[in-house]
Amino acid sequence: MDYSKTVNLPKTDFPMRANLNTRELEIIKYWDEINLYQKLIDKNKNNNPYILHDGPPYANGNIHIGHALNKILKDIIVKYKCMRGFYTPFVPGWDCHGMPIEHKVIELLGAKHKQMQKKEIRDECKKYALKHIEIQKKDFIRLGCIGEWENPYLTLDPVYESAIIEMFGELVEKGYIYKGLKPVHWCFHCETALADAEVEYDNHSSSSIYVRFKIKNKNNLDLPDNTYFIIWTTTPWTLPANVAIALHPEFVYNLVLAANNYYIIVDDLTENVAKRISADFKIIKQYKGSELEKIICSHPFIDRDSVIINADYVTKDTGTGAVHIAPGHGEEDFIAGKIYKLPTISPVDNQGKFTNEFSDCKGINVFDANKLIINKLKQSNDLIGDPETIEHQYPHCWRCKNPIIFRATHQWFLKVDHLNLRKKILDCIDNNVNWIPNWGKDRISAMVKLRPDWCLSRQRIWGVPIPVMYCKNCQEVLISKKCIDYFKNLVEKYGVDSWFTMTASELLPPDTKCEKCGSAEFEKETDILDVWFDSGASHIAVLEKREYLSSPADLYLEGSDQHRGWFQLSLIPSYATRGRAPFKSVLTHGFVVDESGKKMSKSEGNVVSPQDIINKYGSDILRLWTSYEDYRNDVSIGGDIINRIVESYKKIRNTMRFLISNLYDFNRQNDYVEYDKLLEMDKWTLAKLYELNEKITSAYNEFKFHTIYHSIYNFCIKELSSFYLDILKERLYLSGSSSIERRAAQTVLFELLKAITKMIAPILSFTAEEIGKFYPQIKNNNESSIFENEWVELNPKFQNIDLIKKWQMILDIRSDVLKALEITRKTKNINHSLESRIIIWCKIENLYSELLKIKDELRSVFICSDLIINNYEENENNDNFDYNGDFAAVVVQKLETKKCSRCWKYKENTDTDSNYPNICKECIDIIKQYYK
RNA sequence: GGGCCAUUAGCUCAGUCGGUUAGAGCACUGUGCUGAUAACGCAGGGGUCCGCCGUUCGAUUCGGCGAUGGCCCA
């Protein structure tokens, strides 16, 4: 007889090698065919919603690893919540307007763009954005992310654009919007404002001068009348805009007598500066910077006060420790000016020439005026020492390469303190939003606390216009809810392009007149809105406008850079217009860094592209990676890490494959064995599975995906592969194929396969679906997708803490037995454990009698041919153990009996029946019963 | 320069509400099996818990300073 026909070896076509890169494509096609996303939405449409609102990536370039991390994390949550029965519409979005696209398009157009109309350039930008959206969309779908991909939200959609206008209108109505001055980078060759990204730093030579300001009002300090502050500057032309001098509040300043006058100079630089006046100087007295605040000086050549203020950013490595402040010509100066309510003076026109405001140099270019101003200072004797020429890094225009200036211009702002908004937002951050991790609260609070008013206007082309007009006759601003609403309706139909294609009167309600002069002629504002205003309107444009969504969202999930970005800039207008945050919870993830923790950059050559990983290994590898590390901190990736992920993927896959391969002849209807008839170790495994599920489920609820990875992976290795499944092979292969012992084992395998497949489904989506398709019995009603199934449901009977405790002791004993086996492998020439008889002396109190009850089961646990159990307490003067462990003393005997060629055990009763040569009695019985 | 975050074995993570020899899996080394086989099992080695100072009888854990790396700002 061919005994091999009586051995139930595992059987399956489920491939050991995943070939994910090709198999995943088939699964994506399948999802598309069955319209998986719609199915899932429909299934739960009457249930509680869970809205994860997608933050829009910028529609530029291919997706990078950070995008992949972000979208996969979102997808894991959406899928999990969906399996929990929540209604989970997920609408992906893209941020379409803005400088980077405009920049790129102009670069591609070359000189041609100068002859083009704004509308034509905008069309090119739109084309560019749409093209990249398609590229990125394909990649996101390839990652296995589900969502409304055929109808995503785009910030360039007319419906979206109209919501931006609507939000702006509401802010206008409530009084948040005002026009004010702000310094910006300005190129007077191109006559345009430049964004930070358009500024290049290059060498430039400037005149460096020291200038004295005489004290006019001592603010009750005991100072001589002829006392001066000295400032140092490399931009003499900004002196006409000087309104203050900043000192560091903590620095020590000396009152110095030199050449019959008194000067105030920071301690560390006193010698350096005083020498310029006279080699002979004397320190009279010292003051802290904070004491000198509010002293008033006279401007050296203009009839204007210059007030002493305090600022933390003052340094003492160069200059004098007293910094010339011109809020019209510097960012920091401007902020200091805001704090001290100083005027913003900027007497310079678009061409970089002085205006009437500084009539001495009227019509003269600022750089040319440097000399004239220095001469003026010489004349008034306020120049300290001689001017010097220095080479330093200075901002230049990216386009014309000429040096640029900082110049105050009129800009539109959102007033953050209007109607006590800032305080209310801080309160909302504190009490009404759940920040995960918790420190996110402190981070965004600190930003909101200190942020200046939001400058909304940009002097660009590719964006949403600021819907404001100016009277052609008297220049009065026309900014009203009524006009904005009128425009909004046009935008719904024609998009914001109408602002560029239609005339002012077409864009205004009929009969609109200037409130000041009554004229009906208007000019359109040419500025557009900051792109952050676009994405900050998404909660209105998407959550409110799409009737199947709702606001506030349950969750926003982005990188931690968005505390300053999208989270804050959604929160501000949302609170201003709706009186609440647009999100209930905000979850942040860290950044992707290389294997040594360094940021990725082209120049370092450490950039990892998601496309490469997908093509080489598959999306599930990338998805597994997102759960491998704790994403709340930075996550690293590189070749070694990917290799490890691939290895652990194989382990999980092989474990699942083993389960499947032993269930080939199992029918859940007929063969499922009821719980009470299972063996103890079966119940133990189900109890461990129950424990695992509790752990996994709460980890999903708390978004701790790395805990899920570690738990499942460890479960596969420790509980299953090296223990339960290893032991189970004997029962699966050698018991009668339809015996209750084997069916009991299969019942457990079935429960394991069903539960683990669901547990991994949100993460290893492709693999879970593949398993579901291959072994459809694990799906409750033979649904077309594993994701249509409810979350893991386990029989409450599986929970069994006492059994886990008891079997922990058995595991401890097993570990002593394994050590003994390892020793005897060498000393007694034992190779396979089945060659042995194991004799144990149990050392654990009260366990001995329990062990006797399950002796047969324990024999299989130790995978030996014979087991003898003794109580260590009853052991008399025997110390001849192979291993004497903490839990058991063990002797391993090598059996010289014949090996049964069916079950491979070594037993006395082998080869005793000539009808069944070479096999043991137990095997003969089984063959007689099951394989006649 | 400022705000926030991180730092435990080669890697990814546990953990210690301050208390004996700090854990897991992987990787590594050795080894067994050949009925999960481009699989599976077993055993072993490996850590100044980033550094310094302080609080304490006692610190990897608490506090301060610093280093390195990250994000945001200047």
Distance A651 CA to B39 C1' (A): 10
Which H helix or E strand runs over A589? Answer: strand A583-589
Which H helix or E strand runs over A116? Answer: none
- By the 8 A CB rule, do A159 and A493 touch? no
Please give the pLDDT value at position A876: 67
- By the 8 A CB rule, do A165 and A495 touch? no
Angle at A733 between CA A732 and CA A738, to 5 degrees: 65
Of all protein residues, which has its CA closest to the C1' atom of B33? A832
Residue A669: closest CA among A750, A741, A786, A774: A750
Nearest-nucleotide field for A627 (CA, C1'): B12
- By the 8 A CB rule, do A424 and A416 touch? no
Distance A586 CA to B61 C1' (A): 29
List the helix and strand counts (H, then E) for chain A: 31, 31
* Phi, psi (degrees; rounded to nearest 5) at A168: -60, -45
User: For chain A, what is the radius of gyration of the CA atoms?
Assistant: 39
**Three-state SS at A502:** coil
Q: Residue A469 is which amino acid?
A: M
Q: Is the dihedral angle over the CA atoms A179, A185, A188, A190 positive or is it negative?
A: negative
- By the 8 A CB rule, do A332 and A313 touch? yes
DSSP A418: G
**Three-state SS at A682:** helix
Of all protein residues, which has its CA closest to the C1' atom of B27? A644
Q: Are strands A52-53 and A553-559 parallel, antiparallel or unpaired?
A: parallel
* Nucleotides of strand B lying closer than 7 angstroms to a protein CB: 1, 3-6, 11-14, 24-27, 30-44, 69-74
A272 vs A705: CA distance, rounded Å? 60
CA atoms within 13 A on the CB side of A495: 14
Distance A623 CA to B30 C1' (A): 35
A838 vs A786: CA distance, rounded Å? 45
Nearest-nucleotide field for A442 (CA, C1'): B4
Nearest-nucleotide field for A730 (CA, C1'): B35
Which H helix or E strand runs over A866? Answer: strand A866-871
Burial of A261 (0-12, 13-18, 19+ CB in 10 A): middle
Of all protein residues, which has its CA closest to the C1' atom of B32? A831
A56 vs A731: CA distance, rounded Å? 54
A412 vs A464: CA distance, rounded Å? 14
Please give the pLDDT value at position A202: 76
Backbone conformation region of residue A846, classed left if phi is above 0, alpha if psi is from -120 to 50, else beta? left
* Phi, psi (degrees; rounded to nearest 5) at A254: -100, 140
Tokens coding A274: 């005083």
Which H helix or E strand runs over A605? Answer: none
A762 vs A725: CA distance, rounded Å? 25
Residue A528: closest CA among A579, A479, A465: A465
Sheet strands side by side (includes A522-524): A477-478, A469-471, A522-524
Of all protein residues, which has its CA closest to the C1' atom of B69? A597
A135: Cβ contacts below 8 Å, ≥ 6 apart? A62
Distance A633 CA to B5 C1' (A): 8
- By the 8 A CB rule, do A296 and A305 touch? yes
A616: Cβ contacts below 8 Å, ≥ 6 apart? A21
**Three-state SS at A353:** strand
Residue listed under structure tokens 């609070």 = A445
Distance A437 CA to B55 C1' (A): 29
A628 vs A640: CA distance, rounded Å? 13
Give the ipTM of the model, two decimals please.
Answer: 0.96
Nearest-nucleotide field for A634 (CA, C1'): B70
Burial of A897 (0-12, 13-18, 19+ CB in 10 A): middle
Please give the pLDDT value at position A348: 87
Tokens coding A76: 């894991």
Distance A588 CA to B70 C1' (A): 14
**Three-state SS at A93:** strand
Q: Could you please report the per-residue DSSP string of A169-204?
A: HHHHHTT-EEEEEEEEEEETTTTEEE-GGGEEEEEE
A642: Cβ contacts below 8 Å, ≥ 6 apart? A613, A617, A621, A625
A116 vs A52: CA distance, rounded Å? 41
A612: Cβ contacts below 8 Å, ≥ 6 apart? none
A518 vs A72: CA distance, rounded Å? 57
Residue listed under structure tokens 């050559």 = A605
Over chain A (932 residues), the average pLDDT of each successive run of 10 is: 91 94 96 97 97 97 96 98 98 95 92 93 97 98 98 98 98 96 82 72 81 84 85 87 85 83 82 77 83 85 86 77 86 82 85 84 85 85 81 76 85 94 96 94 92 88 96 95 96 96 96 93 95 97 97 97 95 97 97 94 92 96 97 95 96 97 96 97 97 96 96 96 97 96 98 98 98 95 93 96 94 95 93 96 93 96 96 80 93 94 95 92 94 84
Distance A710 CA to B15 C1' (A): 15
Which H helix or E strand runs over A34? Answer: helix A20-34
Beta strands in A170-321 (DSSP E): 177-187, 192-194, 199-217, 227-233, 244-247, 252-258, 261-266, 281-288, 296-298, 305-310
Of all protein residues, which has its CA closest to the C1' atom of B37? A16
Distance A810 CA to B16 C1' (A): 28
DSSP A393: E
* Phi, psi (degrees; rounded to nearest 5) at A387: -65, 145
Of all protein residues, which has its CA closest to the C1' atom of B26? A644
Tokens coding A331: 């960012």
A431: Cβ contacts below 8 Å, ≥ 6 apart? none
DSSP A798: G
CA dist list (Å): A338 to A213, A330, A343: 22, 12, 8
- By the 8 A CB rule, do A599 and A593 touch? yes
A623 vs A637: CA distance, rounded Å? 12
- By the 8 A CB rule, do A372 and A364 touch? yes
A675 vs A505: CA distance, rounded Å? 80
Distance A126 CA to B66 C1' (A): 51
A595 vs A133: CA distance, rounded Å? 30
